[in-house]
Structure 1
């Protein structure tokens, strides 16, 4: 399909919002601004070409470090402990799920260099300015859930190493440490990610060697042969989901990358392999731990490593969690700014407002961590299932629209315009497809609180993820392709607001 707009005024390469400061020195100065701006100034405004910087290969470290965490090890234990899988079926399910989900996630990453805006701002191009609001708020609660999950693991690990401070105390300290990194912003998150990659890879290798050298561990792991189709499908779905949950914010960390095509391709593949390898390797260790060592992966590592080595490893894991949670808080602030800017189009906050917006989600995540630390594994499994139901239809619509319908051509200033600009307040077809897709998932759902009739008939196999991916992919493509090109991207853009407060 040909697109009527291809000039500089409509290119999706990062045209700045009129209210944005593009000099790098004003209140909205981005990470490309002068060095004396320690704290990032940009929020959701488009990053102009003059501030683009960085190398796509740096993204490997960001996503590798974000995934190699104790929470990912715990996610691997779900295969034997919840789904009853033996070693090789569990490894196969984890690998398949992460390979599939990682590619969908990385397709979102490639949108960042092209458009220069955060992911949930770009979602206005599919759903409209108001239509995208629901998913944006869902993502805020997703961040809170991930933040809480990571805090629980970090708190438990630190309590085992330094029992003088109880788990709740460590939860608070880790939460505040993540806040500091998130407030400084994009540059520090990338820098911490590079260092964390080296640390985490070394720790993972050390843990794997000690676990596998422990007498009887490998024998018990390889002797486990449990398999059910429902368990295999369920664990594959978790692998897919662990990757797709990054989709609502993966381009937040690529929007400063140069916009040329080679950069976009490299962005996709470095993100893909960083995220996939960072997930499957610790999940493999978690599978072995769940089968052969202990129901509690952190307690099992403490037992196997022993003494000073255990204290060093568990404390280091807590530092890694601080990096991951800083990403969660950073993304939360962008989502909240996106939600607020829906109703106040000329408003683009600076550093102090972005910092203040983090406080509420931080308190919510900390409250969830304190409340569910004693029933973590069951709560975490249901949390993953709920995210699957709401995020997969969104990611399908977003990717179809970006790659098959508009092919990356968006009018970026309209993302910030009153009434949604050329995309309007609500894109009825997209919202309808999303709502119908979610409704069709319901009979296929399987959680501890509810099992749909189809899942019951299939002996607990949860295929809602497949429904949530296939239905909106086909339905949205069929509907959107019938619309004329001018309907998709008009040549005349509406007037944009003047700079406000």
Structure 2
């Protein structure tokens, strides 16, 4: 990419309405925001009907409400741990989440996790469009051939304007969601919770671990987003603050909505996200349930925009590994537009039984992202400890190379090691069958992927890399002296872990 990616023209440094950056480095002069902003961003980002759908799984796998909620709390707590620790990578390096993966996988090798990541983004956009359309159709006419493109267009506008608008919208939606869903939840617990159970439930180890895995996988899937929305934070942002706020925001909304989904799934016949809210909410007073689903639409649209934004960054990063991409507004609009068209096409082709598709989708996300997050976090916290040569991330012939065999080996071996332990509706591995369908693939992937990467990097010459980091900083400072860029802070890990 050269200086075009790392530098900013005078126009690029101006903070206007539309974000000008895409896969390039964010210099210190453009950093802004506070750690607590990550809290409402991820609270609202997770406070969507798709999250509640995950909770419906508990009763269907034979769990009582109590056991389903316990599995949700433990699964969310486990998965959000990995997600939140990626948040510190943003202020440390000022890079989009997946660009940083080039240090572990190489500029071209990173396309391996990139492919799975784009799959995650597009998958969530599709499910968000489906649920937002169902919500609007409770009061408005029009079929999916109208609503899917229209809603996607709104999300595209939000994504094109970019980072700051997305943060602003999420922050102001948070108190609205808290009030309306708070009232609904109190009523649902008091009245629905006392009704007879619609399904026979209790305890099964298999069901408990399935619910745990889905909750964990749902949260881990956000790992590929995190530093995209923390990369504008100041370079001296304390690690403890940004990690804690990310964890609390994402974890609280996930536990809330998944447990609410488990409650509705336990006591309602054939529950669905929109229908359940309308039915129970309108029992409280006429029109409240309908109002509730309409209030959920803006949150679905903003997370559609967040997914479109992230998919654009990841796709552009993948393309740039093979042919240079000039960052800027044009690249962002083009990438977001392509993702939008692809998402609408897939949404229109989605079968009506999307809940079954969704459960498989979440588990597949868990399988493909577990070895990536294990390798990425092991590299950042255990191997390189936050010290990277930023300019080398954009140099295909540089020290990180095109195909980094250590990261790729650890990822592939970690993924292969998981296969015997996988348990899906269309495939159950031999180890999972031996365990009566219990799925512990995520544990295997974490241990094998992360552990193997640490072992393979024991011979890595970090002394030579430290010298290259200093040289990288001088290069960035040299660009500053010519008015092209500002200093990057590549040596900050955060002293408050």
Q: TM-score, normalised on structure 1?
A: 0.89
**Structure 2 counterpart of 1:316:** 295
Report the Cα offset of residue 452 of structure 1.
0.8
The Cα RMSD (Å) is 2.3
**Partners of 1:189 and 1:341 in 2: how far apart?**
25
Q: Deviations over 1:222-279 (max 9, x none)?
A: 99652111111111111111111111120000000011152x3211110110000011
Is 1:274 paired with 2:249? Answer: yes
**Structure 2 counterpart of 1:9:** none
**Structure 2 counterpart of 1:138:** 116
**Partners of 1:176 and 1:155 in 2: how far apart?**
13
Report the Cα offset of residue 21 of structure 1.
7.2
Map 1:20-169 to 2 at 5 A: 20=5, 25-26=10-11, 28-29=12-13, 33-34=14-15, 37-81=16-60, 83-162=61-140, 164-169=141-146
Is 1:381 paired with 2:359? Answer: yes
Indicate if the aligned counterparts of 2:419 and 2:441 stay in contact, CA closer than 8 A: yes
**Structure 1 counterpart of 2:223:** 247
**Partners of 1:261 and 1:300 in 2: how far apart?**
42
Aligned residues: 472
Q: Deviations over 1:8-56 (max 9, x none)?
A: xxxxxxxx97224756742x44xxx33xx21100001111111111011
**Partners of 1:269 and 1:185 in 2: how far apart?**
24
Of residues 182, 185, 210, the one that matches 1:234 is 210
**Partners of 1:344 and 1:417 in 2: how far apart?**
12
**Partners of 1:134 and 1:429 in 2: how far apart?**
13
Report the Cα offset of residue 365 of structure 1.
1.5
* CA spacing shift, 1:463–1:252, aligned 2, 3 Å: same
**Partners of 1:477 and 1:218 in 2: how far apart?**
51
**Partners of 1:344 and 1:22 in 2: how far apart?**
18
Report the Cα offset of residue 140 of structure 1.
1.2
Structure 1 runs of 4+ with >4 Å offset: 20-24, 221-225, 487-490, 492-499
Q: Deviations over 1:191-250 (max 9, x none)?
A: 001111112212221221332343x53343699652111111111111111111111120
Provide structure 1 residue ranges, at least 5 long, that are not aligned to the other structure: 1-15
Q: Deviations over 1:117-144 (max 9, x none)?
A: 0010000011111111121122112111
Map 1:454-473 to 2 at 5 A: 454-473=431-450
Map 1:185-200 to 2 at 5 A: 185-200=162-177
Provide structure 2 residue ranges, at least 5 long, that are not aligned to the other structure: 485-497
* CA spacing shift, 1:447–1:57, aligned 2, 3 Å: same
Report the Cα offset of residue 352 of structure 1.
2.2
Indicate if the aligned counterparts of 2:198 and 2:267 stay in contact, CA closer than 8 A: no
Is 1:451 paired with 2:428? Answer: yes
Report the Cα offset of residue 377 of structure 1.
0.6
**Structure 2 counterpart of 1:183:** 160
Is 1:429 paired with 2:385? Answer: no
Q: Which moved more, 1:16-25 or 1:253-262?
A: 16-25
Report the Cα offset of residue 169 of structure 1.
2.7
* CA spacing shift, 1:23–1:452, aligned 2, 3 Å: closer
**Structure 1 counterpart of 2:4:** 19
Indicate if the aligned counterparts of 1:217 and 1:293 stay in contact, CA closer than 8 A: no
